[in-house]
Amino acid sequence: MATIKLPAVLVGGSSTSEVDVAGETVRELFENHADEHGSELRDSVIEDGEIKEFINVYVEGTPVESLDAEVPDDAQVRVIPAASGGR
């Protein structure tokens, strides 16, 4: 199973959390996570069948742009919202 690492801002906690999820593609990971834990994470990351513009997904440290990207069985997947700011 792959491990999804989630920042506190996406899970409503005070620290990063990890969850093991089965799936061969990024899409399958988020769908399987939604089946087990509710749709909140999936809906925060996916919109209209694509990864949202200001969400970055990395598989083993490599950025992915497609939900069809393959995920090795023991991969670490990170979800990182884009940071912005300024005046």
Q: Which residue has the higher pLDDT, 15 or 53?
A: 53
- Residue range 69-77: average pLDDT? 96
Model confidence over 14-48: pLDDT tens digits?
Answer: 667 899 999 999 999 999 999 999 998 999 999 99
pLDDT for residue 68 is more than 70: yes
List the structure tokens of 85. Answer: 């700011």
CATH class of 2-81: alpha beta
Percentage with pLDDT > 70 across the chain: 90
pTM: 0.86
Both tokens assigned to 84: 């912005």
* Cα(71)–Cα(10) distance, integer angstroms: 21
Domain residue ranges of the chain, discontinuous segments joined by +? 2-81
